[in-house]
Structure 1
Amino acid sequence: MDLHSQQRNWPNFMIKVSFVAAVQTTEDSTPVVACFARIPFTKETVEACAKKALTPSAQVLSDGLDCFRGVTASGAAHSATAMNGGTVGKWRNTLHSAP
């Protein structure tokens, strides 16, 4: 059996990878720079990542998962919003990779 056939039978959690994305935007919310980190979704790991990567003036928007409460330990402001396909963060589902 090939890997693709096996994956169709695996539960979703077995083929998903947790990661956070930090995106610097302009005043009109256009993305400029993105940084991705593969980390577990725990408050402690998100806190450590935020302290390393964010300035205290950063404004963080998340989908409201409990682990993102760790962002405020870096001094950054945090707001949670429902990511339901609206205009907030509409670019978040698009990822371009260079060859």
Structure 2
Amino acid sequence: MTYWGGTKKDGKRGRGATGKMLFVAALEVSPKGRPLYLRLSHLSGFTKQEIKSWSSKHLVQGSLVATDGLNCFPGVEAANCYHEPIITGGDEYDEFKVFT
């Protein structure tokens, strides 16, 4: 889940930046880890309830959901999915590479 687009208006970056659209991106992968399906959806906020509602509508119960560990993502557990937070280093490059 992330913010998308907009031009730089006030110098703010990331969450709270003006001109950005909040959205969730869900990627289904094959057993070999290859991308199969992608869903992008606009959200009104990063809250546990918003994530629970979205997950209940768009994810199969029992799915494993890997996230960056933001505090709203345990909402997927309320939708009967498994949650695997992957804590990253913020703006710093981290060693966990999803795509090679």
Give the TM-score of the pair, scaled to structure 1: 0.74
Show the 5 A alignment for 1:13-92: 13-39=17-43, 40-83=45-88, 84=94, 86-87=96-97, 89-90=98-99
1:56–1:63 Cα change, 3 Å: same
Identity over aligned pairs, percent: 25
Higher strand share: 2
Structure 1 position 57, deviation (Å): 2.2
Q: Find the structure with the greater CA-based Rg.
A: 1
CA–CA separation in structure 1 for the residues paired with 2:41 and 2:95:
23
**C-alpha contact (below 8 Å) 1:56/1:75 kept by paired residues:** yes
Gaps of 5+ in 2: 1-6, 89-93
**Structure 1 segments of 4+ aligned residues over 6 angstroms from their partners:** none
Structure 1 position 67, deviation (Å): 0.5
Q: Does 1:11 align with 2:12?
A: yes
Structure 1 position 8, deviation (Å): 4.4
Structure 1 position 28, deviation (Å): 1.6
Give the TM-score of the pair, scaled to structure 2: 0.74
